[in-house]
């Protein structure tokens, strides 16, 4: 096999890491490529599930003795602690790896320190190769670990004129089956799906990740969270079925904000404590507005149908904007056609001051 550059190896490691998206939480997604002393790929690995072998261990097992004197290319700094698995830093040293190339340092104080351990053992350590790409692929976990609450994605579906339902309240289905399939795939990448009690009362959603073609449930289900300040979720609501875990988050349990409703920062902190690193905020428009007004949304994924209603509920209400100067500016990062609909991905711009 021909030798590859460290840059090419890191690109491959980032691709490998993405295979663990949705199954590794509360751990990060990580990919590793091992090159022997001649620069040939002798091992590959990624972290597949929490509690399972880390990417470096999988790659080392493939490489065997050919790892000695070689280079490990890793998307995240090798861990330096013993949890359900041993420290990857020690494993790399014991395998005789001469160089470790890391895309992103580990912000987790419990697991960080691998680079220092490697250097103290005489291993050459280089940081920052394709760092931006590796950061983007692991953004939810990295963001959550750095600030102490989950990465929040607001998902909505609307017509071109911004309506989430018709004037009579009907909303099934604004978007196409292709868009709904895409949403269920998105649910499969997060740890929790959050909706307001208003949505539960109006639509009685299941909030599970499913295969829409046959109705079967995905193997891994996100936690279902109903933001229900006064505990109005009916006992027979579908969100209470046994298909997935459910938390009815009340103001009495979580804490109340100035308006008497569930304190949203406290809710996110509580979710982080439960091991939730990525949240999909699905409904309704008033809850989404509260999250946006508080600056708690990290990414927006909107499914826009080529339809017009002219009246009916809008996808967003009360986001704290009263004048054009207060508008929440967005940066479009992707626009993709999904069936007849458009999927628009955007990031809220940081407000100055």
Per-residue pLDDT reduced to its tens digit, 117-161: 999 999 999 999 999 999 999 999 999 999 999 999 999 999 999
Mean of the pLDDT values across residues 227-234? 95
184 and 94 assigned to the same domain: no
* pLDDT value for 1: 52
168 and 42 assigned to the same domain: no
* CATH code at position 261: 3.40.430.10
Question: pLDDT grade, residue 300 (50/70/90)?
Answer: very high
Which segments are annotated as binding site for Zn(2+)? 54, 79, 88
39, burial (CB in 10 Å: exposed 0-12, middle 13-18, buried 19+): middle
Pair of tokens at residue 241: 């079925």
Report DSSP state, residue 294: T
Say which residue the tokens 């100055």 belong to.
352
Mean of the pLDDT values across residues 214-237? 90
Check if 56 is active-site: yes
314 and 330 assigned to the same domain: yes
Which segments are annotated as binding site for substrate? 171, 187, 203, 207, 210, 282
> In total, how many domains does the chain have?
2
The whole-angstrom separation of Cα 341 and Cα 81 is: 46
The whole-angstrom separation of Cα 269 and Cα 169 is: 34
Q: Using one digit for the tens of pLDDT, what is the confidence trace for 12-30?
A: 999 999 999 888 988 999 9
In this structure, are residues 285 and 195 in contact, taking their beta carbons and an 8 Å threshold?
no
Mean of the pLDDT values across residues 333-343? 97
Pair of tokens at residue 106: 């580990």
Of 152, 220, 225, 154, the C-alpha closest to 193 is 225
Which segments are annotated as binding site? 54, 79, 88, 157, 171, 173, 187, 199, 203, 207, 210, 229, 282, 284-290
Q: Does pTM surpass 0.95? A: no
Domain boundary residue, one of 97, 114, 143: 143
Q: Which domain holds residue 269?
A: 150-348
- 189 in a structural domain: yes
Candidate list 40, 56, 133, 331, residue with the active-site label: 56
- 353 in a structural domain: no
């Amino acid at each position: 096999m021909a030798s590859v550059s460290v840059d090419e190896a890191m690109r491959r490691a980032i691709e490998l890491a993405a295979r663990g998206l949705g199954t590794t939480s509360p751990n990060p997604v990580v990919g590793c490529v091992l090159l022997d002393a001649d620069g040939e790929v002798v091992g590959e690995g990624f972290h597949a599930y929490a509690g399972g072998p880390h990417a470096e261990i999988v790659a080392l097992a493939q490489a065997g003795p050919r790892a000695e004197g070689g280079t490990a290319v890793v998307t995240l700094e090798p861990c330096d602690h013993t949890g359900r698995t041993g420290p990857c830093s020690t494993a790399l040293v014991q395998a005789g790896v001469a160089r470790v190339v890391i895309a992103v340092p580990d912000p987790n104080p419990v697991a960080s320190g691998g680079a220092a351990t490697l250097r103290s053992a005489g291993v050459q350590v280089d940081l920052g190769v394709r760092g931006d790409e590796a950061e983007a692929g692991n953004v939810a976990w990295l963001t959550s670990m750095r600030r102490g609450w989950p990465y929040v994605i607001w998902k909505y579906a609307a017509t071109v004129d911004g309506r989430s339902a018709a004037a009579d309240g009907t909303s099934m289905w604004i978007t196409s089956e292709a868009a709904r399939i895409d949403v269920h795939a998105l649910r499969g990448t997060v740890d929790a799906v959050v909706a307001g009690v208003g949505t539960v009362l109006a639509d009685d959603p299941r909030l599970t990740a499913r295969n829409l073609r046959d109705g079967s449930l995905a193997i891994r289900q996100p936690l279902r969270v109903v933001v229900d300040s006064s505990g109005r979720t009916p006992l027979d609501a579908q969100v209470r079925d046994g298909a997935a875990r459910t938390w009815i988050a009340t103001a009495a349990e979580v804490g109340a904000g100035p308006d008497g409703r569930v304190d949203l920062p406290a809710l996110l902190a509580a979710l982080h404590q439960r091991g939730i690193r990525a949240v999909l905020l699905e409904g309704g428009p008033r809850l989404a507005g509260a999250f946006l007004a508080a600056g708690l949304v990290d990414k927006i994924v909107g499914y826009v149908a080529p339809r017009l209603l002219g009246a009916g509920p809008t996808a967003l209400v009360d986001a704290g904007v009263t004048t054009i100067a207060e508008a929440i500016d967005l940066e479009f990062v992707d626009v993709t056609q999904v069936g007849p609909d458009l999927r628009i991905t955007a990031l809220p711009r940081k407000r100055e001051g």
